[in-house]
Amino acid sequence: MSKKLFIETLGCAMNSRDSEHMIAELHEKEGYETTTELEHADLILINTCSVREKPVHKLFSELGGFNKRKKEGAKIGVCGCTASHLGEEIIKRAPYVNFVLGARNVSKISEVLHKDKAVEIDINYDESEFAFKDFRSSPYKAYINISIGCDKSCTFCIVPKTRGEEISIPADLILKETKKVVNEGVKEIFLLGQNVNNYGRRFSGEHEKVNFTQLLQKLSAVDGLERIRFTSPHPFHMDDAFIEEFAHNPKICKSMHMPLQSGSTKVLRDMKRGYTKEWFLNRVKKLRQECPEVSISTDIIVAFPGESEADFEDTIDVVKQVQFDQIFSFKYSPRPQTEAEHFTNVVDSEVGSERLSYLQELQNSILDELHQKCLGKTYRVYFESLIKDNFISGRSDNNIVIKVKGSEELLGQFRDVKITEIGRTMLTGEIVA
């Protein structure tokens, strides 16, 4: 009987891809198959996120639960960003943990598996020339890493400390991987990096200098590939050439993530984001001029140290002006090893919660209006998942999740769908062509 792996993945798309990679490594080198039953597992992995404090707190109670439920002799490994930043401390606090594997070291999974109490958390480890393994959780779309690490120094963010300096993966490797997955039937790729439009600034060896816009051009020439998505771009690097390529290249999906973080130029400066409120609004204007159908999503942090009522009003002003299609909003959470951890002009926690609720309510009302406008419109949907009650769901080019009545023969297919019903997270429609 094969050995069983239970893996829980928290955090961002980068982590999902890292988990896919570890599953493939463990399958190929160690003969593991995945299981969803923790009690059956020989190996339990948690791929953690450390971007905010709450999930880190939860980690230890979750580990305790896993330790009680696991079968005799099963190993527990903690991987990902919290592994990078807490390292050995994890084993000190939870001595039954067998190994700790940082976010930049996931390709060493089969090595650490055989070393009890191993802690591999080198953030300078270079995985950029390493072709990530093949296992993919979806046969219809493929996540493809284009860079690792992050060179920015946003004062709130722990990621440069957990994933290290930014290195781009050579374009020929990315192209090869894309062709391979397309040959296997994938029609949509999702390019991943902490800061995708900074692609090409640094390679680890001698490689063809290709920037992100050029990479998009190269990839879109791959026959059989129909859709390209990517996350996350940085507003600071959204030059005209990039926006024009995005708008006019028919294979690039018209959905842009533009992490605002704050609408106040003063707060943006304290966050070291490198742009102003005006620059952000100017980029949105250019984007909408070139590509009127684009949907724009964003990340916003409220109650960053020093955020006054007027600063928060600036954020609200940007939200009202831009009318984002989706906002991921967070209350600021101080993180170790970041500059802002030492800022003393802390915003009262209750004020932070009020600001967060206000922003989320405003966004809900904006969304209701935006969705009303979708009624009766037709979108090209790529179907990816079966969901309950005989529905099947997929995404439009501009990233709206849409469901229709249907079964598995629609999986991996494109159809035109007319919207008949709206909901907050998903729209319902019927196939028209």
Residue-wise DSSP of 33-63: EE-S-GGG-SEEEEEE--SSHHHHHHHHHHH
Q: Of the ranges 19-27, 125-133, 246-254, 330-338, which one interacts with ligand 5AD (CB under 6 A)?
A: 330-338
What are the CA-CA distances from residue 291 to residues 42, 175, 282, 294 (Å)?
51, 26, 14, 6
Peptide bond into 329 cis (omega under 30): no
Number of residues located near ligand 5AD, criterion CB under 6 A: 12
Roughly how many angstroms between the first and final C-alpha of the chain, as a whole number?
A: 47
Quote the radius of gyration of the chain (alpha carbons, Å). Answer: 22
Q: Is 20 helix (H, G, I), strand (E, B) or coil?
A: helix
Minimum distance from residue 11 beta carbon to ligand SF4 (Å): 3
Sign (positive or negative) of CA dihedral 279, 283, 288, 294: negative
Minimum distance from residue 194 beta carbon to ligand SF4 (Å): 6
Nearer to ligand SF4, 317 or 339 (CB): 339
Rule CB under 6 A: is residue 22 a binding residue for ligand SF4? Answer: no
| Residue 88, token pair as written in the block | 């050995």
* Among 4, 5, 15, 227, interactor with ligand SF4 by CB under 6 A: 15
Q: In whole angstroms, give the CA distance from residue 311 to residue 304.
A: 10
Binds 429, which of ligand SF4, ligand 5AD, none (CB < 5 to 8 A, cut-off by type)? Answer: none
Nearer to ligand 5AD, 168 or 262 (CB): 262
* Among 333, 378, 398, 413, interactor with ligand 5AD by CB under 6 A: 333
Rule CB under 6 A: is residue 259 a binding residue for ligand 5AD? Answer: yes
Pairing of strands 75-80, 141-145: unpaired
Rule CB under 6 A: is residue 169 a binding residue for ligand SF4? Answer: no
Binds 259, which of ligand SF4, ligand 5AD, none (CB < 5 to 8 A, cut-off by type)? Answer: ligand 5AD
Nearest residue to 259 via CA among 228, 221, 231: 231
Q: In whole angstroms, give the CA distance from residue 106 to residue 25.
A: 9
DSSP label of 14: H
Rule CB under 6 A: is residue 51 a binding residue for ligand 5AD? Answer: yes
Nearer to ligand 5AD, 200 or 235 (CB): 235
Binds 67, which of ligand 5AD, ligand SF4, none (CB < 5 to 8 A, cut-off by type)? Answer: none
Minimum distance from residue 85 beta carbon to ligand SF4 (Å): 9
Q: How many CA atoms lie within 13 A of 130 on its CB side?
A: 16
Residues 143-172 that bind ligand 5AD (CB under 6 A): 156-157
Binds 14, which of ligand SF4, ligand 5AD, none (CB < 5 to 8 A, cut-off by type)? Answer: ligand SF4
* Among 4, 163, 335, 403, interactor with ligand 5AD by CB under 6 A: 335
* Among 99, 280, 324, 332, interactor with ligand 5AD by CB under 6 A: 332
Which residue intervals of 323-399 are DSSP H helices? 349-372
Minimum distance from residue 57 beta carbon to ligand SF4 (Å): 15
Residue with the closest Cβ to ligand 5AD?
Answer: 299
- Contact call for residues 199 and 212 (beta carbons, < 8 A): yes
The helix/strand count (H/E) of the chain reads as 13, 19
Binds 104, which of ligand SF4, ligand 5AD, none (CB < 5 to 8 A, cut-off by type)? Answer: none
Nearer to ligand SF4, 163 or 415 (CB): 163
DSSP label of 261: B
Rule CB under 6 A: is residue 12 a binding residue for ligand SF4? Answer: yes
| Residue 181, token pair as written in the block | 């997955």
Residues 60-89 that bind ligand SF4 (CB under 6 A): 80-81
**Three-state SS string across 104-157, please?**
CCHHHHHHHCCCCCEEECCCCCCCCCCCCCCCCCCCCEEEEECEECCCCCCCCC
- In the complex, the residues that contact ligand SF4 under the rule CB under 6 A are 11-12, 14-15, 49-51, 80-81, 103, 159, 162-163
- In the complex, the residues that contact ligand 5AD under the rule CB under 6 A are 51-52, 156-157, 259, 261, 299, 301, 330, 332-333, 335
